[in-house]
Structure 1
Amino acid sequence: LTVVQHNVADDNADPAGTARALADSGADLIALQELVDPDLDTYRRTLAPRYPYHSVQGTVGLWSRHPLTGARALDIRPQDITEPWRRALRAEVRSPYGTVAAYVVHLPSVRLGPGGLASARRDESAALLGGILAADPSDRIVLAGDLNGTVDDRGLAPLTSRLVAPERGLALSYPAALPLARIDQVLARGAHVPAVRTLPATGSDHLPVLVRVVLHGAS
């Protein structure tokens, strides 16, 4: 499976152009974050011809060339957030290579405060998501998201200890104007991820990343 991961930015000035660029990648799955009205309708309309199956939960969404079933929101909200907050979903992809559990997530940002970098919210969400992954019986899992951290970040250990990261490729994704780190990730279980690369800039402050996920046991 080929997977594109992209935080499209809630202030994206060209959502239609962004959607067209992502569709032109030819990926099997497109995972998006920061989907907001009225741009959401633009993404739906533009991606529909090539990606007839999709699910949006809160501000995250998954578009697929293959049928989706059982799509639902996941609760990874930090305890101190009281307003509505839906930034994770799970769906099953009925791919030609078998069923795959697909996750799309957007972990909280790491903020610079008086005491330095504050990652408590992100780490709490990562721990909640790690518990969900640990309980997931699926043999094959693909997780795509803006994790607001690199795969070497200890705060993401609840995820990286359970899923494999790309084997090759730097693919710095943020900020788009001068990328310094890859915080947009595609991780997997029951598969390996040979490489990751970035796609050209869109109207977002993130660059899209594209990976090929080789599922174990796929013919």
Structure 2
Amino acid sequence: MTRDARRDTSPRARRPWVLISSAVLVAGLLAFHSAVPNAVGNVGSLLETFLPWLGLVVVALLVLASSRRSAIALTAVALPATVWVIMFGTSVFPGSVIAGGPEPGPTLTVLQHNVADDNADPGGTARALAGAGADLIALQELTPQALPVYEAALAPEHPHRVVVGTVGLWSRLPLADGRPVAIKPQDVTADWNRGLRATVRTPVGDIAAYVAHLPSVRLRPQDGFGTAWRDESAAALATAVAAEKLERIVLLGDLNGTVHDRGLSPLTSLLAPALDGFGFTWPAAFPLARIDHIMARGATPATTWTLPATGSDHLPTAATLRLRLQ
């Protein structure tokens, strides 16, 4: 057998079908993630939680295709790369959410933070939040011991507040009609109050503000990605939001899920999430997912950013909302 014949039949000379198949699979997972079933271990929701990180797989495929110097492999990898850019390009280049520049109108700056019930420095966290320049500050995992610390630090600039259970809302603007929102899953028997609603009196009209902390999710070998309580709570919160009579709504919460996760679709179908940049908020030491959210109706999320880490395992997240005039 000649040397040329041996070269023609070697593995290196074969078309890189594995690489091409992998590229097509990644493109399919990105574009059709909602088609991945949750029937076994909620694998669909697990995929959607970390969907942006498939970009690393695309980069790895690109490196492999380049190393093979295969035109067909590079062409195949261009498919998932294009899909990823379409889905997450505005996150790579934050500030491009609103085409044509900022819209006119009044603004409201809001801040969301799960302060962690085991926070060893609630005073430092409270001072950092108080100085962030927000009009509204929503907190979760408030404990009876730490609540007076937050009240003392936030009250000078945010004298109006509503606290229900372990969630609270502080405001520069007057608040009215503060009340609990029932989002507790049916199987939870403990005393559990993690939702509230209040009316924010702004110079251009009232806004309904919701603060929520949805149940945590767990990844266990025996039953996969456990989201049942989170999904049930999200549906209950969506029911309350759908029944809201005020046109303008802002939701601030630790929702324990990303906007791509189908478990939050009852909420994302009603409200526009603030998504300027990736804005990963958890875990604070190395953020992997944006599970703390600011969503709105009757207001346009203009810019979004995260604040430096506090004593919590979550990063604070903030947004400027442009209010639609009624």
Alignment match of 2:322 (pick from 208, 214, 217)? 214
* 1:10 aligned partner: 117
Q: Which residue of 1 aligns with 2:55?
A: none
Does 2:190 align with 1:96? no
1:31-70 deviation digits (Å, cap 9, x = unpaired): 0000002101100111111110001000000000000000
Q: Distance in 1 between matches of 2:276 and 2:112?
A: 17
Task: Describe how 1:88-167 pairs up with structure 2 within 5 A.
Answer: 88-113=195-220, 114-167=222-275
- Is contact 1:170-1:196 (8 Å) kept? no
Does 1:24 find its partner at 2:136? no
The residue that corresponds to 2:187 in the other structure is 80
Aligned equivalent of 1:202, options 291, 299, 310: 310
Q: Partners of 1:177 and 1:20 in 2: how far apart? A: 20
More strand by share: 1
Q: Partner of 2:302: helix, strand, or coil? A: coil
CA distance in 1, matches of 2:325, 2:153: 34
Tell me: higher relative CO, structure 1 or 2? Use CA pairs within 8 A at least 6 residues apart.
1
Quote how far apart the aligned CAs of 1:195 are: 2.3
CA contact (8 A) 1:106 1:145 kept: yes
Describe the SS at the equivalent of 2:207.
strand
Q: Counterparts of 1:11 and 1:60 in 2: how far apart (Å)? A: 15
- The letter of the residue matching 1:11 is D
Give 1:198's aligned amino acid.
Answer: T
Structure 1 position 167, deviation (Å): 4.3
Query: What is the CA–CA distance in structure 1 between the aligned matches of 2:185 and 2:211, rounded to whole Å?
Result: 17
SS in 2 for 1:195: strand
User: In the TM superposition, what whole-angstrom CA distance separates every residue of 1:132-170 from its partner, at most 9, and x where no partner exists?
Assistant: 111111100000000000111100011000000124221
TM-score by length of 2: 0.66
Residues 110, 117 of structure 1: 8 Å contact kept = yes
* Structure 1: distance between partners of 2:286 and 2:119: 17
Is the Cα contact below 8 Å between 1:195 and 1:212 reproduced in 2? yes
Matched to 2:210, the amino acid is Y
For residues 118 and 39 of structure 1, the distance between their equivalents in structure 2, rounded to whole angstroms, comes to: 30
More helix by share: 2
Matched residue of 1:56: which SS?
strand
- SS of equivalent to 1:13: coil
> What residue is the counterpart of 2:24 in the other structure?
none
Q: Does 1:42 align with 2:149?
A: yes
Aligned residue type for 2:309: A
Alignment of 1:184 with 2:292, yes or no, is yes
Which aligned segments of 4 or more residues in structure 1 are displaced greater than 4 angstroms? none
Residue in 2 that maps onto 1:175: 283
User: How far did residue 97 of structure 1 move?
Assistant: 2.7
Aligned-partner SS, 2:169: strand
- Give the distance between the partners of 2:275 and 2:317, measured in 1 at CA: 14
Q: Is the 8 A contact 1:165 1:187 kept in 2?
A: yes
CA deviation after TM superposition for structure 1 residue 192, in Å: 1.0
CA distance in 1, matches of 2:277, 2:135: 20
Supply the AA of the counterpart residue of 2:236: L
**Structure 1 residue 81, shift from structure 2 partner:** 0.3
The percentage of aligned residue pairs carrying the same residue is 60
1:59-89 deviations in whole A, cap 9, x for unaligned? 0000000000000011110010011100000
Letter in 2 for 1:133: V
Cα distance in structure 2, aligned partners of 1:95 and 1:49: 19
**RMSD across aligned positions (CA):** 0.9
Q: For 2:295 and 2:316, how far apart are their aligned partners in 1?
A: 15
Q: Which runs of 5+ in 2 are unaligned?
A: 1-107
- Alignment length, in residue pairs? 218
Structure 1: gaps (5+ residues) = none
Shift of 1:96: 2.2
